[in-house]
């Protein structure tokens, strides 16, 4: 599985040198997950003080640091794209959710700023609309919440913070399950 390290290093180098987000294959992530699991199994079975265990530990830590660095570089590009209002391709599903959530948050904040330009006291107020974190139990189309923000579309299993006024109806209809009030 040394190939996994080489492929991860290649993805990391491409991500560092490219201005846009680089495509990461699902196969690479699957192979990496299998290899990390294999390393952890081998570590559990080996003598903790052996040279082999120390090498496996170092390899595991190195792979995790490399992956973390890759994902942090991508996150930086995502945040920059949100502020510049630039669409992005090649995002992983978790990154796409983050990108969309950041876009919504920035849009909401820009609306607060605009109202603050008219009446600076608006900047002193807390948000009138509370949000609740929910898990969608089934696919659900895009909708406008009672706070007049657009939400969705959502797939079963998606986690989202939506306007609390919309939650009771969605819970009653078994579309969402409440996770947490924000």
167: closest CA among 142, 122, 136? 136
Kindly report, residue by residue over 102-145, the tens digit of the pLDDT: 888 888 788 888 888 988 887 887 766 678 899 999 999 999 88
| Integer Cα distance of 37 and 30 in angstroms | 11
Tell me, which fold does domain 127-182 have in CATH?
Answer: Ribosomal Protein L9; domain 1 (3.40.5)
Average pLDDT for 136-157: 89
* pLDDT value of position 181: 55
Q: Is the pLDDT of residue 182 over 60?
A: no
pTM: predicted TM-score of the whole model, two decimal places = 0.67
pLDDT value at position 180? 63
The first and second tokens of residue 71, run together, are 């994902």
pLDDT at 68 over 70: yes
Domain range summary for the chain, segments of one domain joined by +: 2-93, 127-182
Sequence-separated (6 or more) residues with CB below 8 Å from residue 77: 20, 21, 88
What is the distance between the alpha carbons of residues 177 and 135, in angstroms, rounded to a whole number?
5
| 56 Cβ neighbours under 8 A, 6+ residues apart | 39, 42, 43, 46
Is CATH 1.20.58.1030 the right assignment for the domain spanning 2-93? Answer: yes
Which residues, other chains included, contact 51 with Cβ-Cβ below 8 Å and sequence gap of 6+? Answer: none
Q: What average pLDDT does the structure give for the chain?
A: 90
For the segment 76-112, what is each residue's pLDDT rounded down to a tens digit?
999 999 999 999 999 999 999 889 888 888 887 888 8
């Amino acid at each position: 599985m040394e190939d996994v390290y080489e492929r991860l290093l290649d993805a990391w180098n491409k991500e560092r040198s490219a201005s846009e987000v680089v495509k990461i294959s699902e196969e690479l992530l699957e192979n990496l997950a299998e290899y990390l699991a294999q390393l952890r199994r081998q570590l559990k079975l080996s003598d903790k003080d052996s040279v082999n265990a120390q090498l496996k530990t170092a390899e595991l830590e190195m792979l995790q640091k490399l992956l973390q660095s890759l994902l942090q570089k991508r996150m930086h590009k995502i945040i920059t794209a949100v502020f510049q209002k630039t669409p992005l391709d090649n995002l992983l599903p978790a990154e796409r959710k983050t990108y969309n959530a950041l876009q919504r948050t920035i849009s909401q904040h820009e609306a607060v700023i605009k109202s603050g330009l008219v009446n600076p006291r608006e900047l002193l107020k807390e948000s009138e609309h509370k949000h609740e974190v929910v898990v969608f139990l089934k696919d659900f189309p895009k909708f406008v919440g009672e706070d007049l923000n657009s939400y969705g579309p959502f797939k079963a299993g998606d986690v989202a913070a939506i306007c609390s006024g919309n939650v009771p109806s969605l819970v009653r209809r078994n579309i969402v399950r409440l996770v947490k009030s924000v």
